[in-house]
Homo-oligomer: A and B are copies of this chain.
Amino acid sequence: MKENSKYIQVKNQIKDWILEGKVKPGEKIYSENELVKRFGVSRHTVRQAIGVLVHEGWLYREHGSGTFCSNRLLQQTKRESSKNIGVITTYMSDYIFPSIIRGIEQYLSSQGYSLIMASTNNDLEKEKQCLQTMLSKNIDGLIVEPTKSSSANPNISYYLNLEQHHIPYLMINQYYKEINPPHLVIDDEKGGFLATEHLIQYGHKKIIGIFKSDDLQGVNRMKGYIDAFRKYNLPFFPDMIVTYTTENKEEKIAEIRSLLEGKDRPTGMICYNDEVALSVLNIVRSLYLSVPGDLSIVGYDDSQLATASEVKLTSVSHPKTQMGIDAAKRIIAKIEGKSLENGTDSIVYEPQLIVRESTKRLASKIIT
């Protein structure tokens, strides 16, 4: 079953129409010949696509009359509680995500709920698939960590469709501004500011910032970084910011080596997260420089990794498991119609700087 085969594409497009609500149950879809014209494929291919959807229960055909959208989604609207909560994250097994998921699972299972997992690998197409899966399952609620939150999201209609089906959902880590759903996020701008301020107060002036640009966490942390420079009236210098995306991460990180090899070396570095900080640490080692002797490094998220290395990383806290618990608590409250003690549906966590061994006060200068 090739993903890019034509009939699969046609199938997915038609399914989209249904899931997005463009075609409602009982309504007739385009005739086969019409679809042939629209997609520019043969009738055989169209029939193949429709055939699959008929077998999956999305459509039914009537000889001589047309092809119609079945009403299986409607049946699910008045469904009984399944005690299943969907969870969609960008990554499932890496970094701090396991901790978040643990929090979710902990609370859910204590309340007799189960968790259905899916991950997007930070790919919007995959996010769409995940949403489709969740919509076609019998879930009571959905917790989403947005994919590529810094760019416009093409899957909004799916989220809106969730609302039409009265399935509560909330977003963690970030949220799509366009829909403004309940969300649990960290004040990343402040986190970035705290990290940078820390180095500035330690007397550092040439501080490089490395940030991920395809999610809002990265963009916000960068904002905080720049704010700190402004507040302390420090001069900006060339190459002070390195940004990367999921796709070009490896190369961009590798480029940092050259920044450290030059003679006018930076003395501090603010990293998007602990993972990046560790990569930098490895580069520093390979150049026979020391941390924090030659370079002070600040990570972010206070992950396992921060304390796994010999040089324990100074990092910015992330609620992780607690965030998971809070998310689960709120989604269940919504499902069961409880009103939360706190009036608002969302939480903004305050970040805290955790100073460890990877940052050092520069001897020459002290700023207060």
Which of B98, B115, B119 is the one whose CB lies under 8 Å from A94? B98
Q: Give min CB distance, A362 to chain B, whole Å.
A: 24
Q: With A305-B308, A310-B310 as given contacts, are A109 and B105 in contact (CB-CB < 8 Å)?
A: no
Once bound together, how far apart are the Cα atoms of A83 and B101, in whole Å?
22
> In the complex, which residues of chain B have a beta carbon less than 8 angstroms from the beta carbon of A115?
116-118
Once bound together, how far apart are the Cα atoms of A130 and B108, in whole Å?
12
> In the complex, which residues of chain B have a beta carbon less than 8 angstroms from the beta carbon of A233?
none
Q: Do A308 and B105 touch across chains, with their CB atoms under 8 A apart? A: no
Q: Do B114 and A133 touch across chains, with their CB atoms under 8 A apart? A: yes
Q: Quick one: which of A241-296 are within 8 Å of B by CB?
A: 278, 285
Q: With A93-B98, A102-B92 as given contacts, are A114 and B116 in contact (CB-CB < 8 Å)?
A: yes
Q: Does A38 touch B at the CB level, under 8 Å?
A: no
- When C-beta atoms are compared, the residue in chain B nearest to A86 turns out to be B114
Q: Quick one: which of A68-125 are within 8 Å of B by CB?
A: 82-84, 92-94, 97-99, 101-102, 105, 109, 112, 114-119
> In the complex, which residues of chain B have a beta carbon less than 8 angstroms from the beta carbon of A102?
92-93, 119
> In the complex, which residues of chain B have a beta carbon less than 8 angstroms from the beta carbon of A304?
305
Once bound together, how far apart are the Cα atoms of A235 and B195, in whole Å?
54
Q: Does A309 touch B at the CB level, under 8 Å?
A: yes
Q: Does A129 touch B at the CB level, under 8 Å?
A: yes
Q: Do A105 and B92 touch across chains, with their CB atoms under 8 A apart? A: yes
Listed from nearest, the 9 A-B pairs whose CB atoms lie closest are: A93-B98, A93-B102, A310-B310, A308-B308, A98-B98, A114-B116, A115-B117, A116-B116, A93-B99
9 contacts between A and B (CB under 8 A): A83-B137, A92-B102, A93-B98, A93-B101, A109-B118, A114-B116, A114-B118, A115-B116, A305-B308
